[in-house]
C-alpha cells in the first residue's frame, strides 16, 4: 500500500511539474520594469504625477471595475485620490510589515506585463475612515512605456469618500 501511495504521489508531482511548463515565458522580480513599477507606486504615494507621467504612454488605457479611462482622465484622478485620502501607503497582501509584491512576465507573443499585488492603506480626508483594500494591477509595456493598466479592487471606499466630499461642498 505504501509503495502504491509513493508511486501515485510521484506521478502527481510529475504531472504538476509538466503541466506548469512556461516554455518561452520569462518571469523576473528585480528587473528594470519591475523596479520602474516600484518607483511608480512611490510616485503615486507621494502625489508625484510628473514622475508617473514619465512611464505612461500617450495611448494609456486603464481598465477598472467601473470602466475604462485614458491618460487625460488619469491626470485628473491621481490628484483626486490625494484630495480625498491622506496617509496613503502600500503593503503586501499578507503582511502590513512587508512591501507589496511585483513581478514582470514576458510571454511568447512578445507582450510584457508587470503585475502587482498589494494592500492599499489610506485615511479618508472627509470621513476620517481608515481604509485597507486588497488590489492587483497588471501593467502592459510597449516601447518602454506603460500602455495598459488593468486594476482589480474594490472601489467602494473611493466612492464613499467622493460622496462625503460632494456633501461637504453642499454645506
**Cell numbers of 70, please?**
485614458
Q: Does residue 124 contact residue 160 with C-beta atoms inside 8 Å?
A: yes
Angle, helices 156-170/71-84, rounded to nearest 10 degrees: 70
Query: What was the pLDDT predicted at 66?
Result: 87
| pLDDT at site 97 | 82
What was the pLDDT predicted at 113?
98
Q: What is the pLDDT of residue 137?
A: 97
**Domain locations in the chain?**
26-170
| Whole-number pLDDT of residue 7 | 46
CATH topology for the 26-170 domain: Nuclear Transport Factor 2; Chain: A, (3.10.450)
Provide the whole-model pTM: 0.83
- Contact of 149 with 115, CB cutoff 8 Å: no
DSSP 3-state of 34: helix
pLDDT tens sequence for the chain (171 residues): 555 444 445 444 554 444 444 568 898 899 999 999 999 999 999 999 999 999 999 999 999 988 999 999 999 999 999 999 999 999 999 888 888 999 999 999 999 999 999 999 999 999 999 999 999 999 999 999 999 999 999 999 999 999 999 999 997
* pLDDT at position 15: 46
The burial class, CB within 10 Å (0-12 / 13-18 / 19+), for 19 is exposed
Amino acid at each position: 500500500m505504501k509503495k502504491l501511495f509513493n508511486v501515485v504521489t510521484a506521478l502527481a508531482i510529475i504531472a504538476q511539474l509538466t503541466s506548469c511548463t512556461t516554455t518561452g515565458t520569462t518571469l523576473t522580480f528585480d528587473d528594470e520594469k519591475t523596479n520602474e513599477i516600484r518607483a511608480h507606486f512611490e510616485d503615486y504615494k507621494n502625489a508625484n504625477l510628473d514622475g508617473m507621467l514619465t512611464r505612461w504612454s500617450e495611448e494609456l488605457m486603464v481598465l477598472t471595475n467601473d470602466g475604462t479611462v485614458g491618460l487625460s482622465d488619469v491626470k485628473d484622478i491621481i490628484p483626486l485620490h490625494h484630495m480625498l485620502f491622506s496617509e496613503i501607503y502600500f503593503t503586501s497582501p499578507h503582511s502590513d510589515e512587508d512591501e507589496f509584491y511585483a513581478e514582470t512576465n514576458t510571454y511568447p507573443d512578445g507582450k510584457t506585463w508587470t503585475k502587482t499585488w498589494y494592500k492599499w492603506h489610506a485615511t479618508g480626508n472627509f470621513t476620517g475612515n481608515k481604509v485597507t483594500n486588497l488590489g492587483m494591477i497588471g501593467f502592459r509595456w510597449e516601447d518602454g512605456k506603460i500602455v495598459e493598466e488593468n486594476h482589480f479592487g474594490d472601489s467602494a471606499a473611493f466612492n464613499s469618500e467622493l460622496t462625503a466630499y460632494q456633501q461637504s461642498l453642499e454645506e
